[in-house]
């Protein structure tokens, strides 16, 4: 049995298999009427809708649970919840603050556990990002991806995804906001250097969920890191713009870029559903050692 807490839990071949399944229009009922327990310690929009749709398309019953209903580590431990849902559902998805809660669930769960976002990683988003780039350019290997902004959980998962897919990854952040070096990605404090000739340019909000009190300071620190038309001009001629949303127009991205012809953001958002469907399909067949 396989869990999915970060993109590099998959090998390159397994990642390709997941993306191939994501693009198939004939999803089988791999849930066979069983449920998927979806825990949301953090509020959710795209993740909840896309996961509920993916489960439904695979013949399952999505059960979304808010933290005030569940109380991870307050009413019941993460381990107890994993045991309970393993006995009732075919899969557990959780959107949490501390990544360790997911890791603890995997130690006792008897069904696959999927990271729907943690403070450390956002791997289901990265799957949709790769799917979008592959749809635009074909093979991922050898393509270049530039990320401009905060070295947050989204950035770290994209770095992991690029490494598995054989892509060149460049990250530009202000000093003090760098992601951990992975020995494969290029880290810089110059957005133009990161974007130069890139096939895809990616950004995220400067203040993520839970960082709202730091928003004013971050806006000052991130001055000069807005992805605008001038910065996109440094990218490749066929470059696409990506954003995991929600977007703050005029801060991390200019409206003209978000709404412009290079933007693949809405395709990327829809691909959350497709990519997650491919992942769940893979986890409940190949990941469980079956060939259905």
Predicted model pTM: 0.96
pLDDT tens by residue, 59-70: 999 999 999 999
pLDDT tens by residue, 188-239: 999 999 999 999 999 999 987 666 778 889 999 999 999 999 999 999 999 9
pLDDT at residue 209, as a whole number: 65
pLDDT tens by residue, 93-136: 999 999 999 999 999 999 999 999 999 999 999 999 999 999 99
Is residue 292 predicted with pLDDT exceeding 60?
Answer: no
Local structure of 251: helix, strand or coil: coil
pLDDT at residue 76, as a whole number: 97
Rg (CA), the chain: 19
Instruction: Please provide the average confidence, as pLDDT, over all residues in the chain.
Output: 96
Mean pLDDT of 268-273: 98
pLDDT at residue 207, as a whole number: 84
Q: Which residues are catalytic?
A: 95, 122, 125, 204, 244, 272
pLDDT at residue 210, as a whole number: 66
pLDDT tens by residue, 243-252: 999 999 999 9
Domains of the chain (ranges, CATH numbers): 7-122+272-288 (3.40.50.1370), 125-269 (3.40.50.1370)
């Amino acid at each position: 049995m396989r869990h999915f807490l970060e993109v590099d839990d998959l090998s390159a071949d397994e990642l390709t298999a997941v993306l191939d399944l994501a693009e198939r229009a004939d999803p089988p009922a791999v849930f066979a009427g069983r449920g998927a327990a979806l825990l949301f310690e953090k509020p959710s929009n795209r993740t909840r809708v896309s996961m509920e749709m993916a489960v439904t398309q695979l013949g399952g019953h999505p059960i979304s649970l808010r933290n005030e209903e569940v109380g991870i580590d307050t009413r019941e431990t993460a381990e107890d919840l994993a045991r309970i849902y393993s006995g009732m559902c075919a899969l557990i998805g959780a959107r949490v603050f501390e990544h360790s809660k997911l890791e603890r669930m995997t130690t006792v769960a008897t069904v696959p556990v999927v990271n729907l976002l943690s403070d450390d990683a956002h791997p289901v988003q990265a799957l949709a990002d790769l799917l979008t780039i592959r749809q635009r350019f074909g093979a991922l290997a050898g393509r270049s991806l530039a990320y401009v902004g905060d070295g947050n959980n989204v950035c770290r998962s994209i770095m992991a995804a690029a490494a598995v897919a054989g892509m060149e990854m460049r990250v530009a952040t202000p000093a003090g906001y760098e992601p951990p070096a992975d020995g494969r990605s290029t880290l810089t404090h110059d957005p133009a250097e990161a974007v130069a000739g890139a096939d895809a340019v990616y950004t995220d909000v400067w203040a993520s969920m839970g960082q709202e009190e730091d928003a004013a300071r971050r806006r000052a620190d991130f001055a000069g890191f807005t992805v605008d038309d001038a910065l996109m001009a440094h990218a490749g001629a066929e470059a696409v713009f990506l954003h995991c949303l929600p977007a703050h127009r005029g801060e991390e991205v200019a409206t003209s870029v978000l709404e412009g012809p290079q933007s693949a953001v809405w395709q990327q958002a829809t691909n959350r559903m497709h990519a997650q469907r491919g992942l769940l399909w893979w986890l409940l067949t190949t990941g469980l050692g079956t060939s259905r």
